Amino acid sequence: MTRRPSWRVAGVLALSALWLLGCGKDHGTGSTKNAPLFEFNAQHNGGRTVRWRSLPVRVFLGGAARPDEVNIWTAATDGAVTFAFVGSAGAANVRYGFRSGTDICGVTFVEFTDDGDFTSAEVQVSQSIYRGPQCQRTVTHEAAHSIGFLGHTEDGGLMDPDGGNGAITSLDAGVLRDLYHLPPGTSVSAETKRFGLRRPGGKNVMTFVYPVRR
């Protein structure tokens, strides 16, 4: 029997103790206090949120994904993020497709501006294994990255580096729900973090490989 890998990323902090109920305003800085949203999104853009500006997010499934595997994030976020499925890659915000090899289950490439706007996202899943026992819900995991979950957790759930037990946790859902209740580029602070000045203009590119290996 093939066993799911248990690869982990060294140095990833468990954030469950930092979860802040609600999004209170910091009237001294004008920023939103939300440690998980900072950790799993805004820290990668100088402390400002990154998301698709317009909803629904247009998705091209490319024969690699099913609508229910993506739409589950609409249910998990209580409708904060929505999707529309389109028939061509050119009309899409998020594009799914296949990659060869058996080294990883999938990979997501995202591009965004300093204003906090996603400009493109591409998901490639390894055709021969991504639905196998060694891969936990690859499409749904990568879908979260493609809409703004910019990191990995260590709470045993789907957004762990190895997919955990495959379950969407309250942390996973809460980050994306909060993200899509705020405009792109909203300043977010974390009580345990500090962030620097905004970077100069230009585009930023991030890549997420699943599962992550040391």
Q: What's the CA gap between 43 and 35, in Å, rounded? A: 10
Contact 54, 208 (CB under 8 A): no
The tens place of each residue's pLDDT in the chain, 214 residues long, gives 223 433 222 222 222 222 222 333 332 334 567 899 999 999 999 999 999 999 999 999 999 999 999 999 999 999 999 999 999 999 999 999 999 999 999 999 999 999 999 999 999 999 999 999 989 999 999 999 999 999 999 999 999 999 999 999 999 999 999 999 999 999 997 654 444 444 555 678 878 786 755 4
- Quote the pLDDT of residue 18: 23
Does 191 map to a domain?
yes
Contact 62, 200 (CB under 8 A): no
Does 110 map to a domain?
yes
Does 106 map to a domain?
yes
- Under DSSP, the state recorded for 143 is H
Does 11 map to a domain?
no
Does 2 map to a domain?
no
Q: How many domains does the chain have?
A: 1
Stated as kind and residue range, the H or E segment containing 26 is strand 25-26
Tell me if residue 39 falls in helix, strand or coil: helix
Going by C-alpha positions, the residue among 44, 81, 63 that lies closest to residue 178 is 81
Does 48 map to a domain?
yes
**38: domain range?**
28-210
Does 5 map to a domain?
no
We report the CATH number of the domain holding residue 156 as 3.40.390.10
Q: What's the CA gap between 142 and 209, in Å, rounded? A: 9
The DSSP bridge partners found for residue 187 are: 48
Does 47 map to a domain?
yes
